[in-house]
């Protein structure tokens, strides 16, 4: 710039000198010549000054225009850096600063993008971790509740086992009582069987006696039938006598007054025959009743015989049942002893089960305690992850804000 200014000044000086030397030749009048020289030199001076100012202001205007665009955020402007004067040096420095600034801003933009993406990923990850931690906490709580329930169930089972032990004791006592009762039943079954056999013998004797009675009643029934036949014959005789008396009465009435006495006798005979007929009818009725009664008695006796036979069978069955009861009582005694042995074994097993259940209860309580601690730890972790998620979201918002700030610059065409 200094060289250009010096050259411009020498050129103006040279032109002014050349004008001052050439005007006296063209204008002889010294006044007009001096005036002409002043005018020409002034014009040359003004042109030189304009040229010098153009040289200085041209680059500065270009730099000012670029600075104006940069101040509005447009960093995509290129600056003309040709030349080697101070203005070109200023433009080169300005361009270098602009390139560096653009690079820094692009780097900041990329970093803000990465920070935002990472913050979002971190936020989602923390949310996932938080969700998983919540699941773990719920599972731990469920495990704790299950462990508590398991402890309660085991406690109840232990109580049931103790009750079972008590029941086994009672079963043992009952088995002992049943054994005593079975022995007593065996004694009584023996007695009952003997009594049943004696009853069977008595029933046989009774059946024989009843059979004899039935035979006697049937014989009596045969006699009643004979009486019935005799009564029928008497009735027949009475009817014939009745008719004979009627016919005698008819003949007497036909004979007139001389046969009146005969008619009276015939009438008496007829009445007698009627009385005989009436008595015979009564005897017949009584005989029929006797026959029916003897039939009923015979039937009842036969039924008694049948019932005695059935009773005999029942007594025989009872005797067999008593024998069965005796065998069953003996079997019950043996089984009672076996039950007592089984109950003792069951009692031992129940005791071992009770001890095992107590160990299970202890382990279940320890598990419940561990799961509760796990649950509380996961709850704390959950809070931390929640805070981390909040921070990540805050970081994402900050990076968004940074991106917003950077977006005010125009970094690309």
Partner 1 sequence: MNLLYFQLGGSPYAIAQEAIADVAPASAIHPVPLSPPAVLGLAERRGRAIAVIDLPCLLEGTSRETTSTSHLMRLAAPLEGAAFFVPAEVFSGAGSPASPGHVWIDGRLHVLLDALALVKASTAFH
Q: Using the rule CB under 8 A, give the single segment among 51-59, 70-78, 241-249, 393-401 that binds partner 1.
A: 241-249
Q: State the minimum distance, in angstroms, from the CB of residue 247 to partner 1.
A: 4
Distance separating alpha carbons of residues 137 and 381, to the nearest angstrom: 10
Q: Does 114 bind partner 1 (CB under 8 A)?
A: no
- CB closer to partner 1, 85 vs 274: 274
Q: Does 243 bind partner 1 (CB under 8 A)?
A: yes
Q: Using the rule CB under 8 A, give the single segment among 27-35, 251-259, 290-298, 353-361 that binds partner 1.
A: 251-259
CB 20 within 8 A of CB 49: no
Report CA torsion sign: 408, 410, 412, 413: positive
Could you count the other beta carbons within 10 Å of the beta carbon of residue 68? 11
Q: Helix, strand, or coil here: 82?
A: coil
- CB closer to partner 1, 208 vs 236: 236
Q: Does 400 bind partner 1 (CB under 8 A)?
A: no
Of the candidates 78, 66, 87, the one whose C-alpha atom is nearest the C-alpha of residue 1 is: 87
Q: Does 281 bind partner 1 (CB under 8 A)?
A: no
Q: Is 307 exposed, middle or buried (CB count within 10 Å of its CB: 0-12, 13-18, 19+)? A: middle
Copy the structure tokens of residue 271: 């009445």
- CB closer to partner 1, 195 vs 259: 259
Q: Does 208 bind partner 1 (CB under 8 A)?
A: no
- Going residue by residue from 255 to 274, which x/- string records binding to partner 1, judged by CB under 8 A? ------------x--x----
Q: Does 254 bind partner 1 (CB under 8 A)?
A: yes
The 3 state secondary structure assigned to 106-156 is HHHHHHHHHHHHHHHHHHHHHHHHHHHHHHHHHHHHHHHHHHHHHHHHHHH
Q: Helix, strand, or coil here: 303?
A: helix
Q: Does 285 bind partner 1 (CB under 8 A)?
A: no
Phi, psi of 73 (to 5 degrees): 105, -5
Q: Is 134 left (phi over 0), alpha (psi -120 to 50) or beta?
A: alpha
Q: Does 338 bind partner 1 (CB under 8 A)?
A: no
- CB closer to partner 1, 239 vs 400: 239
Q: Does 399 bind partner 1 (CB under 8 A)?
A: no
Q: Does 194 bind partner 1 (CB under 8 A)?
A: no
- CB closer to partner 1, 69 vs 243: 243
CB 114 within 8 A of CB 408: no
Q: Using the rule CB under 8 A, give the single segment among 35-43, 235-243, 314-322, 394-402 that binds partner 1.
A: 235-243
Q: Does 49 bind partner 1 (CB under 8 A)?
A: no
> Where do contacts with partner 1 occur on this chain (CB under 8 A)?
239-240, 243, 245-247, 249-251, 253-254, 267, 270
């Amino acid at each position: 710039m200094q060289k250009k200014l010096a050259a411009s000044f020498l050129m103006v000086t040279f032109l002014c000198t050349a004008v001052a030397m050439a005007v006296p030749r063209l204008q002889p009048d010294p006044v007009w010549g001096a005036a002409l020289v002043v005018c020409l030199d002034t014009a040359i001076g003004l042109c030189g000054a304009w040229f010098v100012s153009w040289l200085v202001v041209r680059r500065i205007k270009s730099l000012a225009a670029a600075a104006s665009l940069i101040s509005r955020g447009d960093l995509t402007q290129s600056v003309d850096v040709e030349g080697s004067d101070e203005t070109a040096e200023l433009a080169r420095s300005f361009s270098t600063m602009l390139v560096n600034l653009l690079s820094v801003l692009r780097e900041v933009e990329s970093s803000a993008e990465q920070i935002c993406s990472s913050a979002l990923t971190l936020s989602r990850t923390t949310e996932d971790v938080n969700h998983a931690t919540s699941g773990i906490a719920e599972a731990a709580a469920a495990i704790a509740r299950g462990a508590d329930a398991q402890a309660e169930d085991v406690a109840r089972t232990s109580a049931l086992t103790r009750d079972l032990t008590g029941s086994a004791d009672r079963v043992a006592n009952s088995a002992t009582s049943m054994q005593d009762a079975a022995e007593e039943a065996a004694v009584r079954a023996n007695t009952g069987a003997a009594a049943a056999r004696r009853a069977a013998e008595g029933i046989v004797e009774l059946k024989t006696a009843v059979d004899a009675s039935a035979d006697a009643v049937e014989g009596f029934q045969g006699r009643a039938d004979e009486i019935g036949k005799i009564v029928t014959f008497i009735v027949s005789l009475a009817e014939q006598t009745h008719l004979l008396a009627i016919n005698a009465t008819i003949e007497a009435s036909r004979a007139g007054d001389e046969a009146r006495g005969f008619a009276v006798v015939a009438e008496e005979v007829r009445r007698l025959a009627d009385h005989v007929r009436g008595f015979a009818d009564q005897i017949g009725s009584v005989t029929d009743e006797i026959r029916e009664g003897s039939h009923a008695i015979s039937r009842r006796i036969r039924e008694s015989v049948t019932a005695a036979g059935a009773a005999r069978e029942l007594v025989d069955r009872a005797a067999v049942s008593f024998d069965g009861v005796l065998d069953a009582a003996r079997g019950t005694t043996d089984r009672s002893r076996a039950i007592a042995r089984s109950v003792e074994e069951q009692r031992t097993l129940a005791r071992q089960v009770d001890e095992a259940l107590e160990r299970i209860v202890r382990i279940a309580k320890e598990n419940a305690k561990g799961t509760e601690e796990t649950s509380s730890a996961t709850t704390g972790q959950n809070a931390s992850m929640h805070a981390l998620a909040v921070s990540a979201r805050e970081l994402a918002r900050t990076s968004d804000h940074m991106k917003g700030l950077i977006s005010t610059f125009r970094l690309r065409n």
